[in-house]
Amino acid sequence: MQTPIGIAGVSGYTGVELLRILSAHPHVRVSALSAGASAGKPLDAIWPGFAGLDVPAVEPLDAATLAARCAVVFLALPHSAAPTLVPELLDAGVRVIDLGTRFRLRDPSAYARSYGHPHPCPERLPEAVYGLPEAHRGALRDARLVANPGCYPTATAIAAMPLVESGAVDWIVADCLSGVSGAGRSPGPRNLYCEVQESAVAYHAAGRHRHVAEMEQLLGVPVSFTPHLVPMRRGMLATVTARFKTPTTREALRERFAARYADHPAVTLRDTPPATADVRGTARAHVFVDWDDERGAAVAICAIDNIGKGAAGQAVHNMNLMLGLPETTGLPWLPLLP
């Protein structure tokens, strides 16, 4: 038996990546597609590469329609879009995986500080489970509302969690490189070809990025975070540096990482630093760790696909846990090469 699912926001990169993965998933069927300005258009008018795919028409965002057709709905919408959609779906008995920002922060005041406006439904925050399987796998199995993590927090957390959990780290530095798809599909200076090709830029440095609060909530230590936009379509590379209170060794760090992720199939510990191409198009994370003996610091590097493990792939991973399926079911596991 296949579970009926819906995707709200199929006109964006994350939404269409959800459709790509879920269309091939053996235990679900795509029963509803919706979008904002693109509603009413055939899917192949929005995404010509999906011509011939047997899926529903793209309809306007409507909670009643989604609830009538779906047991699980993925929301791939801007954080300002459809503020009442989640409460309406939950009240109708639908399980929701929100790939936006609304439910990632437990504290509504932290949300207001990060996003510049009050939380639209703070009464729902206690229901949300933060959807990083490597941190909250057990809670995700029974979740009705999943807050899918951001791409930067995902890559940073996978690199940092074994370091922070050692108790030997008071704070971390995270430098992350992101592909241009992280800026979304709407045209602007950050995703125009002539602006980004042959150029890299840091932005929202010195703690100004909205994802800092999300990282610090999960890790429990201060994070000095600098994101960079680099000229590639998809991919993310996070380098986390953490000075230890007491010396350790590369071998001890590798043992710690191996033990931490031994039963988490989406994370692979590498002997050499990973490249973003190694995980392009997948729902996996490749991680590497080393020890800088002269400076008494650990350096951990994590590569993910920002719209794979950093968004849609992780959302489907969470859905598998919610539905009691083997957690890697239907996930893209091998990279798109070359």
CB 250 within 8 A of CB 302: no
User: Which pLDDT value is given to residue 268?
Assistant: 99
Domain ranges of the chain: 3-149+309-322, 151-306
Closest C-alpha among 265, 248, 239 to residue 325: 265
Residue 227 pairs in a beta bridge with 176
pLDDT tens-digit map of 273-299: 999 999 999 999 999 999 999 999 999
- What is the total residue count of the chain? 338
pLDDT in tens, 15-45: 999 999 999 999 999 999 999 888 989 999 9
Q: Which fold has domain 3-149+309-322?
A: Rossmann fold (3.40.50)
Rounded-to-integer distance, Cα 148 and Cα 322, Å:
13
pLDDT at 80 over 90: no
| Distance separating alpha carbons of residues 291 and 279, to the nearest angstrom | 24
DSSP SS3 for 41: coil
Q: Is residue 336 scored above 80 in pLDDT?
A: yes
- According to DSSP, the residues that pair with 243 across neighbouring strands are 297
The answer to whether 289 and 272 have CB atoms below 8 angstroms apart is no
Which tokens go with 200? 């890299």
Tokens for 321, please give them. 């846990």
pLDDT above 90 (res 330): yes
| Equal fold, 3-149+309-322 vs 151-306 | no
Residues assigned a catalytic role: 151
Q: Which CATH number fits domain 151-306: 2.40.50.100, 3.60.150.10, 3.30.360.10, 3.30.1490.20?
A: 3.30.360.10
pLDDT tens for residues 107-135?
999 999 988 889 999 999 999 999 999 99
**H/E stretch holding 157:** helix 151-164
| pTM of the predicted structure, to 2 decimals | 0.96
What DSSP state is assigned to residue 290? E
Q: Tell me how far apart the alpha carbons of residues 198 and 196 are, in angstroms, rounded to a whole number.
A: 6
Task: State phi, psi for 286 to the nearest 5 degrees.
Answer: -110, 130
- Rounded distance between C-alpha atoms, residue 14 and residue 179, angstroms: 13
